[in-house]
Amino acid sequence: MDQIIIDVREEDEFAAEHVEHSINIPLSSFASLAPGILNQLRERQIVFMCRSGARAGQAQAIARQLGFNDAHSFDVHEGGIVQWKKAGKSIVSRRLKAPLPLMRQVQLVVGTLIITFSMLALLVDSRYALGALAVGGGLLIAGTTGFCALATLMAKLPWNRGDSLAKHTLCQMSKGD
């Protein structure tokens, strides 16, 4: 049985480095995308990969809930792509410039906004607390729906744009690599 590696890291992490011929289905959208993609891969052995193995295990659990019991993860004990590289296995690296991963950028912006609004509320005018509440509300919505407006906006910034990963993913699937 042919093996395929599904990398469940976010698109920016995948763009920086990944196992050659692997496909990217970020864990953040895995539950909605996985059924259609996994159905196309029924005849292949599926191995989930992430950075250290934790997200791969979550993807494997979701796949099993969807009836894909033969899916395996390159898990925490194996160490994900970190251990893959330590074992001397090859990866594709496309890091031309090294921005922080998108989710870390979002965390930095959100943290800065909350601290700024909180300090302004304490030192200038209590109405600035509404800004901190708005940012917190955005996080709550992102956590419950899986859609983060700030991450979507930040992904469009020049330093976060790269090759079309969706095109790469679909091309790899259609080639059967």
CA-to-CA distance for 6 and 173, rounded, in angstroms? 11
Catalytic option among 34, 41, 50, 150: 50
Burial code (b: 16+ CB inside 10 Å, e: under 16) for 11-26 equals bbbbbbbbbeebbbbb
Catalytic residue list contains 171: no
Burial (CB count <10 Å: 0-12, 13-18, 19+), residue 111: exposed
What is the Cβ-side half-sphere exposure of residue 87, based on CA atoms within 13 angstroms?
12
In DSSP terms, 6 is beta-bridged to: 23, 48
101 to each of 17, 22, 53, how far by Cα in Å?
12, 19, 17
* 99: alpha, beta or left? (left if phi > 0; alpha if psi -120 to 50): beta
Tokens coding 148:
């983060």
CA-to-CA distance for 47 and 53, rounded, in angstroms? 11
Which residues are marked as active site?
A: 50
